[in-house]
Amino acid sequence: MTAGTKTRSRVLDPVERASEIVFGLLMALTFTGTVSVATAGREEVRTMMAEALGCNLAWGLTDAVMYLVGIATERSRGVKLLARLRATKDTAAAHELIAGALPPRLGAAAGPDVLALLRQGLLAAPDAPAPRPLGRDDFLGAFGVFLLVVLTTFPVVIPFAVFDTTAFALRVSNAVALVTLFAAGWTLGRYAGAKPWLGGLVMAALGTLLVGAIIALGG
């Protein structure tokens, strides 16, 4: 890499991508899981497919908007925290602010010396500007969230369009869903530094239980 080359970070991290995929999948499964293999005709199946897609379009849009709201909130919070830190003369209060802004385990593990160094660096930084407005990468991330939720609908509903037998289509749909859940859990387990296969199994089992609970509660 040359000196002038910039490293571009991913718009969505693995946790965000896997979470949106699982969310979209669970929403779609709440519709496919209500199909009766004994009585559902082609019209009922088509209605189910349209409802599943419509639901995930709506929730994909909602998730995308809330993604942008979360980014704007965190940026505003960061600016306000820096302003409070600079206005605080009490060392203990300043350290408490810094520790509270860190991830819980890091905040608890950081001793006075570390917090003092962080405070010194933050106080030496340039004056905090107003919160940065939403930019290209932010909207790309929101669009990615929308696409992940919506596109996850298709693998579990396409079998109903391909196969004439509802029972067989449902089995194929459920198999695809389990594989997708396992892959999402594998990704999360690998990202967390745990055993990927264990993460996959846990996610598949957890997803199955969640779908059952959502359907039972009328979702």
pLDDT tens column, 132-142:
788 888 999 99
CA 78 to chain centroid, in Å, comes to 21
Rounded distance between C-alpha atoms, residue 109 and residue 195, angstroms: 25
Q: Is the pLDDT of residue 9 over 70?
A: no
Asked if 118 contacts 95 with a C-beta cutoff of 8 angstroms, the reply is no
Q: Is 152 exposed, middle or buried (0-12, 13-18, 19+ CB in 10 A)?
A: buried
Least confident segment among 32-36, 62-66, 84-88, 179-183: 32-36
Quick: pLDDT tens for 14-56: 888 899 999 899 888 888 877 765 456 677 888 888 889 999 9
Asked if 75 contacts 132 with a C-beta cutoff of 8 angstroms, the reply is yes
Q: How does 4-25 read in b/e, with b if 16+ C-beta sit within 10 Å?
A: eeeeeeebbeeebbbbbbbbbb
Q: Is 148 exposed, middle or buried (0-12, 13-18, 19+ CB in 10 A)?
A: buried
Averaged confidence pLDDT in the chain = 83
pLDDT over 70 percentage in the chain: 87
Higher pLDDT, 181 or 107: 181
Quick: pLDDT tens for 110-140: 888 888 888 888 887 776 666 778 888 899 9
Rounded distance between C-alpha atoms, residue 146 and residue 156, angstroms: 17
